[in-house]
């Protein structure tokens, strides 16, 4: 677009790289900034440093257009950009539930000294409510242009595996702003997306920070709700799958994020609900969201109960048994193993003396690097060789496509524990398998 703002994206991790690439493809001039030279080198040479369908092709396209480049220099970013997106991570602090704001602060402090004309800094990272206000003060203090530099917040809702689509065609855009000028700048920086009719919510900074954690808390709560119902089903021999299907048909409830199983993991949901609960306590409204502690507890219990079910299927003993673990990523179509329920279960079974072998279609390298003590194999059938039980932990389509008879030829015992309700129980039982899943008789 002509006359459109020049964009920088600070932090070229999952969120930042996706945002920078997509914005360049949409026609903006973009500079991506990161303190990690190896990331910058990779991206500059056309390599996406993580797994995300469709993104490598778009990176090639963006680099070819000449509209996208990467640098480690804040000075270059400050001189170039009109709108600066802050996309760095806010991980959970070690030994605490609070979010670690080191990177967000470092990004703002690194950039600010080079902001010598009117500019907008836009936070996209997930932060505790109140952070934007504090960062505004830092910006005004450190930027040569002073209060001519404004801060806005624009939370990001993208899902791994759908990052491109979620960026190009989001459900909504939330603009947390302190002035009309900031809103106008944001509208210009998202013009191609807005032209698709994307709804915008304009609000204040605090509300925009809260929208993100409120959304993720809701999603986590929905998953833990159905998993709590699964626990009840387990106690009475009822069927959680039929129960969930029945609830899903009520369109006030809906079927999304209502899939029972091993529960949620990943780099967002678990840490976001903890950081939110922690922040709420700090500001004196801990009681209002104390249910999030239960949401977390229910979710963690899924992992323990899955191990219990495997033990039961193995006749009370995990030690010495050969166990095929299907899946390592926290969800399918991802190589992300952060807080992955699958690896948690695999490691627990290993710790109990089980001979666990893990296979995942995309996350194997990451898993190997982080957990060298586990054993790995090159395919779903490979790890199932001579197994006493096969345990499905991440619902990759690859696993669903495996024929019960083909698997039967390699295993020692025809036992399968479906931790994600991904398989057709009737089909597996008809083929002579002992099929077990939590919350199903
Ligand atoms: C999530 C939010 O969806 C996204 O909007 C936000 O920006 C970042 O956090 P993501 O972490 O990529 O995205 O994964 P998501 O697809 O939401 O899945 C989260 C976890 O919940 C996965 O471990 C998944 O297996 C689990 N899940 C999801 C369930 O157990 N049941 C469900 O019904 C849905």
User: How far, in Å, is the centroid of ligand 1 from the Cα of 413?
Assistant: 33
Return the axis-axis angle of helices 205-236 and 131-142, rounded to nearest 10°: 150
Structural domains in the chain, sorted by start: 7-203 (3.40.50.720), 218-436 (3.40.50.720)
Rg of the chain in Å (alpha carbons): 24
For the four alpha carbons of 236, 289, 91 and 57, in that order, the dihedral sign comes to positive
The residue annotated as part of the active site, out of 22, 87, 233, 268, is: 268
- Taking the complete model, does pTM exceed 0.80, yes or no? yes
Give the model's pLDDT for residue 1.
Answer: 43
User: Parallel, antiparallel, or unpaired for β 389-392 and 30-33?
Assistant: unpaired
Give the model's pLDDT for residue 441.
Answer: 82
- Give the nearest ligand 1 atom to 268 CA: 9
Q: Does the annotation list 157 as a binding residue?
A: yes
Burial 211-234 (b: 16+ CB within 10 A, else e): bbbbebbebbbbbbbbbbbbbebb
Q: Which long-range contacts (CB under 8 A, 24 or more apart) does 95-99 make?
A: 96/278, 97/274, 97/275, 97/277, 97/278, 98/128, 98/275, 98/278, 98/279, 99/126, 99/127, 99/128, 99/271, 99/275, 99/278, 99/279
75 sits in which H/E element: helix 74-80
Is the CB–ligand 1 distance for residue 159 below 6 Å? yes
354-372 pLDDT per residue, tens: 999 999 999 999 999 999 9
Q: Does the annotation list 374 as a binding residue?
A: no
**Nearest Cα residue to atom 2 of ligand 1:** 159
The answer to whether residues 380 and 398 touch, using CB atoms and an 8 Å cutoff, is yes
The answer to whether residues 121 and 149 touch, using CB atoms and an 8 Å cutoff, is yes
Q: Is 268 in the active site?
A: yes
In a mutational test of the pocket of ligand 1, which residue from 127, 219, 240 has the highest number of ligand atoms less than 8 Å from its CB?
Answer: 219
80 sits in which H/E element: helix 74-80
Distance CA 301, CA 299 (A): 5
Is the CB–ligand 1 distance for residue 264 below 6 Å? yes
Q: Does the annotation list 341 as a binding residue?
A: no
Is the CB–ligand 1 distance for residue 268 below 6 Å? yes
Q: Which residues, in sequence order, are CB contacts of 287 under 8 Å at separation 6+?
A: none
Is the CB–ligand 1 distance for residue 258 below 6 Å? yes
Give the model's pLDDT for residue 342.
Answer: 98
Low-confidence ranges of the chain (pLDDT < 70): 1-2
Distance CA 146, CA 424 (A): 62
17-73 pLDDT per residue, tens: 999 999 999 999 999 999 999 999 999 999 999 999 999 999 999 999 999 999 999
Is the CB–ligand 1 distance for residue 340 below 6 Å? no
- Give the nearest ligand 1 atom to 332 CA: 25
Q: Does the annotation list 159 as a binding residue?
A: yes
Q: Region of 408 please: left (phi>0), alpha (psi -120 to 50) or beta.
A: alpha
For the four alpha carbons of 255, 298, 129 and 161, in that order, the dihedral sign comes to negative
């Amino acid at each position: 677009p002509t006359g459109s703002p020049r964009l920088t994206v600070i932090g070229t991790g999952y969120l930042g790289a996706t945002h920078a690439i997509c914005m360049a493809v949409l026609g903006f001039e973009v500079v991506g900034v990161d303190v990690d030279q190896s990331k910058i080198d990779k991206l500059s040479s056309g390599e996406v440093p993580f797994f995300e369908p469709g993104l490598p092709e778009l990176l090639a396209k963006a680099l070819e257009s000449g509209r996208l480049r990467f640098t480690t220099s804040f000075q270059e970013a400050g001189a170039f950009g009109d709108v600066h997106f802050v996309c760095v991570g806010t991980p959970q602090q070690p030994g605490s539930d609070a979010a670690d704001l080191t990177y967000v602060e470092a990004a703002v402090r690194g950039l600010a000294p080079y902001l010598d004309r009117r500019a907008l800094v836009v936070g996209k990272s997930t932060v505790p409510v109140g952070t934007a206000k504090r960062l505004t003060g830092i910006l005004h203090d450190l930027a040569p242009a002073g209060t001519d530099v404004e801060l806005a917040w624009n939370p990001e809702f993208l899902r791994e595996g759908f990052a491109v689509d979620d960026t190009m065609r989001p459900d909504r855009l939330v603009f947390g702003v302190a002035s009309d000028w900031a809103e106008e700048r944001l509208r210009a920086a998202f013009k191609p997306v807005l032209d698709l009719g994307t709804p915008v919510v304009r609000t204040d900074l605090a509300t925009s920070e809260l929208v993100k954690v409120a959304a993720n808390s809701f999603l986590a709560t929905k998953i833990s709700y159905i998993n709590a119902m699964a626990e009840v089903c387990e106690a009475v021999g009822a069927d959680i799958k039929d129960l969930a299907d029945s609830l899903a048909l009520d369109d006030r409830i809906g079927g999304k994020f209502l899939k029972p199983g091993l529960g949620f993991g990943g780099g967002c949901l678990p840490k976001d609900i903890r950081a939110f609960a922690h922040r709420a306590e700090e500001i004196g409204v801990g009681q209002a969201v104390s249910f999030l502690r239960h949401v977390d507890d229910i979710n963690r219990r899924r992992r323990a109960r899955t191990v219990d079910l495997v033990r039961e299927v193995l006749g009370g003993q995990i030690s010495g048994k050969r166990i095929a673990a299907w899946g390592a990523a926290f969800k399918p179509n991802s190589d992300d193993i952060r807080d992955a329920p699958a690896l948690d279960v695999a490691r627990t079974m290993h710790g109990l003396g089980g001979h666990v072998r893990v296979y995942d279609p995309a996350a194997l390298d990451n898993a190997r690097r982080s957990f060298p003590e586990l054993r790995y194999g090159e395919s779903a059938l490979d790890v199932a060789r001579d197994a006493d039980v096969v345990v499905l932990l991440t619902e990759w389509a690859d696993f669903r496509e495996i024929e019960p008879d083909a698997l039967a030829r390699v295993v020692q015992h025809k036992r399968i524990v479906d931790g994600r309700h991904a398989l057709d129980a009737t089909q597996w039982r008809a083929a002579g398998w002992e099929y077990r899943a939590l919350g199903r008789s």
